[in-house]
Every structure is written in structure tokens, then in C-alpha cells.
Amino acid sequence: MVTDPQTVLPTTTLREVKELTERNGFAGYPVVTEENELVGIITGRDVRFVTDLNQPVSVYMTPKERLVTVREGEAREVVLAKMHEKRVEKALVVDDEFHLIGMITVKDFQKAERKPNACKDEQGRLRVGAAVGAGAGNEERVDALVAAGVDVLLIDSSHGHSEGVLQRIRETRAKYPDLQIIGGNVATAAGARALAESGCSAVKVGIGPGSICTTRIVTGVGVPQITAVADAVEALEGTGIPVIADGGIRFSGDIAKAIARWRKRGNGGFHAGGY
């Protein structure tokens, strides 16, 4: 479901709707009053042969009485049946006062069928993560991402066991106590503990194991990925904080080694991931 659909007013002109369509790439817009009461919908089909684009939306929109509307939480089968009955591709979600809450499209169901294992939130939206650095100015990016509804934030650095990264995590955790935060990257037990103590929800491990990474070559030092992961898992045992292996998994044997090391530690918080 689209929880915050783009809307237009009854007085919006068809020219403005055309501009919205060109900018957004879709042509269907719920029509609402200033108080967000749903009064209609305007689609590309409604205005396909209209030549006077100065006309208001209210002249050509599908009116309230002919809309397909459902209540929030309506069963999938009920929504599909209503859409099929009216031969429409959009159903509008309203509350008891007929205020617009969201919009469901046929594509929502098609995507759900094609990608049944997609990671979605309780509203059916794809979960989204974003990465930010620890440098000055990134606090503005963090604020903007949280305001946009980001599900998980990665505070990312090639050397996560540094004061700048730890301070950024502490500040972000203090400001957003419920935000899921991943910190990284580290390659030692001490680094994993430092990230956890700073407020991370998960720790990302791996310095130099990636196929294109040159950190170990340039610096002349490094920790083998399986050792780094094992040390981090051991350091965080009992905390409930998961460990993400970033890089170093190039062949099937690498996965077997990672799983074997994880099983030996008996910790359910290890996740192998390739970036």
C-alpha cells in the first residue's frame, strides 16, 4: 500500500496534473479537499482526449460515488474482488470519515506474488537502509533519512574502531533511541565491543577481505575474515547483537567455513553477507 500518495485538489488544472505525470512517471492521483476528504480520482484514462488543459480536475475526475474504497487492514481477497468487480487498478484506503489514508494498486499485488520473500514492514512497504559517514555534516543526512522513514542506518567507515565513528553512533543513538543502527567496519574483538557499547544494533565486520579492497595491501596489516568474524562473535556473545560478515565470501567453501565457525561458537547472531 502507498501510505502517503500524491494527491491533487478539485481546483487543480489538468495542465498541472500533466506536469505531475511527466515528473512522477504515473498518471493516477486521488482528489482530496483541503481537509484530506476523498472526493474523487483523476487518471490518464479520464483525460486522454481532453484538449483544454485549463479545465479543473473536478470536471473530469471519477467522483466519490463511483470510487473503489476499502478500509485499512481489509483482507487481500476483499480488495481484489472489489477491484475486479469495478474493473479498476486502484483502490483507495479511507477511514470512517472518508479521509484518505493510502492507495492500493494492482501492481502491489503483482509484486507481492513475484517477490513473496521481499523484506517489508508492517504496512507492506519495502524496508530501506541507508549508509552515512562519520564526518561533519552527516548529522543532517541522518535527520533527513529518519524523517523519510529509513528502517536501518549504517554508520560506515573503513575503520570503524575510531573515535569519530563511535561518537557519531553515540550521538545518533541519543537522538533516535529506537532507530536500528549498524556500525562498522571492524576486524577485532575490541572494535566489536566498542561499537556495541556506543549503541549499535548490529556490528559489521571486515577490513580488507573484499574482492576489490586494497586496505591490507596498502597498510601491510590485516586480519583474516574468518578470524575477525569469530573474534567479534565471541566478544558479543550474550549481548544479542548480531554480527554481519562484510566481504571475504567469494566461493562456496567460504560460506561453509563461516557457518562452521558460527556453529562452533553456538551464537545465533551471525549473518553472512556480501557487499
| Confidence category of residue 263, pLDDT binned at 50, 70, 90 | low
Share of the chain above pLDDT 90, in %: 53
- Mean pLDDT of all residues in 225-237: 91
Please tell me the distance from the alpha carbon of residue 29 to that of residue 10, in angstroms, as a whole number: 11
Residue 140 has pLDDT above 90, yes or no: yes
Residue 10 has pLDDT above 50, yes or no: yes
Look at residue 62 and give its three-state secondary structure: strand
Selected from 3.40.50.2000, 3.40.50.10420, 3.10.580.10, 1.10.150.650, the CATH number assigned to the domain covering 14-114 reads 3.10.580.10
- Mean pLDDT of all residues in 47-76: 90
DSSP codes joined into one string, 153-218: EEEE-SS-SSHHHHHHHHHHHHH-TT-EEEEEEE-SHHHHHHHHHHT-SEEEE-SS-STT--HHHH
Please tell me the distance from the alpha carbon of residue 109 to that of residue 201, in angstroms, as a whole number: 32
Name the architecture of domain 129-273. Answer: Alpha-Beta Barrel (3.20)
Mean pLDDT estimate for the chain: 88
Query: What are the sequence ranges of the domains in the chain?
Result: 14-114, 129-273
